[in-house]
Structure 1
Amino acid sequence: MEITEKDGKDRKSFVSQTYFNLIYYSELYSSNYEDRIEIYNKLLSENSDLTPKEKESCQDRASRNTEREKELYKRGKSMECSYCNLTRYSTRYCENCIIRYLKSFFGTWTSGCDIIDRFICECQSSSGLPLHIMEWISFDQFKDIKPFAKGGFATIYTATWKRGSILDFNESEQKFVYQGPQKVVLKSLNNSTEPTEEFFEEANRFIQIRS
C-alpha cells in the first residue's frame, strides 16, 4: 500500500494528539509530579495504537518537557553543572549555559532596529530554555509565504519556517537542536517603521504564554 503525503501528515497529527491525551490522562490520575511521569510511562507502554518508533518519539518528547520544567520551576534535586559550576536542575541541559551561549552571539545579528535588538537581548539574558527563547529570525528563513488575512493595522501571512524553532540543546556539543521545517503565521504591521507599545505588549504576552 502506497502512503501519500496526506497520510503521513494525518499520522503525525494522530501521534501528536495521542501524546497530549496521555499527558492529560496522567494529570487526571495524580497531582504529584513524579507520579504523573510514572503513570504517563505506563500508559505509553500499554498503548497499542502506536508503533515502537512512535512510542520512542513520544517518550523523547515527554523527556524534553520534563527536563525543561525541572529547570524552569527549579523542581527536583539540584546539582552543580560540570560546564559552568552553577546550580542546575535538569539532567538534559543547564539554563545558565544556554544563556551564556546566547550571549556569545550578541552583536552578530541585528533586526535593523536598536530598540528591538535590546528587547531580544534582555529576553535572552533572562530566559534560555528551549521553547522560551525569543529570537530574531531573518526573512530569508521563510518560504511559501502566502497572504491569509488583512486588517486595519496588520496583514497576516502563512509560511514555512525552514530552520524551525529551537527544540532542544545538545549539551555535549554546546549547540541548539532545531525542529526543522514547520508551518508558521507571520504578521506584518501596516505603515509602521518603528515598533509600537502594542508590539512589545504582544511580544511580552507571547513570552508569558510560553512560560
Structure 2
Amino acid sequence: MGRLRYSYTCGVCNFKTKTIPCTKCTKYERHNNFDSGYKNVDDMIIASQSHAKDDRDFLEWIEFSQLRILETLDEGGFGTVYKAKWLDGLPMDASDVGRAWNRSHFNYVVAVKFFHNNKDFLKEFTNIYKMVRKFSEENEFPSNIVHYYGATYDYDNEHYAKQISNGLRPKVYQEDGIPRCFVNLMRNCWNSDVRSRPNAYTLYEKFNSWIEYSEAFEDMEWNITEPSIYHRKAVYTSRSWWQ
C-alpha cells in the first residue's frame, strides 16, 4: 500500500488535508461557537487554536459559569486577581484533528484577573496572544513562563477577565518579618509580563549590594564600643593647663 498523500494545504492554518473545507479549521469552528463581544479577540483565540501544536500553546474562551471564585489574591489600579477553581479543567489533545477535546485536572486551581477597563483587557490579551504564538512557532513553551489559558466575561459584573494558571502568587505578609525590599523583589519576579522580570544578572547585582550593605552595618556595630571607665579624679569639667 502506498503512502497517503495530502492534496490540499489550508490557506488559513497551513494544515495539510485531503478535504475542503479544512478538517482542522472545521474542528476549531465547532469548539469556538462563542462571541466575546470583540471580533479581534475571537479571531486571536481561533487563530491560536488553529496553529496549536500541543495543549500549552493556545487560548480558549471560557464560560464564566465554569469558574468558582475562592478568594481575592491582589488588587491594583488595572484590576483585581482572584483565586478560582476551573470546573472543566485543562484542555488536552488540541492538535489532534478529528477528536473532541479531552479534559483533565477537573476543579483545577487558577488565577483570574478582572479588568476595570476593557481597553486594558484588550491590550494585555493582545500581548498574551503574541507571546503564545511566538512560542508556538518556535515549538517550545518554556516551563518558567506563566501559562495563560484564555479569557472569560462576568456578565453579572460586566468585567472581562483573563485566566492564568501557574501565575498564582502567594500573599506576602510583612508582619512575618520579611523586609520590604525583598517583598518588592519577589513581586517583580512574579510579574506576569516576562519582560518586566529581573534577569539573573540583575538579581546577582541586587543580592551583592544587599550583602555589602549588610556587612557594612555589621562592621559599624562591631566598632561601637562601650565608653571607657575613667578614674573619677582624672575627669575635670574645667581645669587650667597650668594647675
Q: Structure 2 length normalisation: TM-score?
A: 0.41
Over alpha carbons, which structure has the higher Rg?
2
Q: Structure 1 length normalisation: TM-score?
A: 0.47
Higher helix share: 1
| Higher relative contact order, structure no. (Cα contacts within 8 Å, ≥ 6 residues apart) | 2
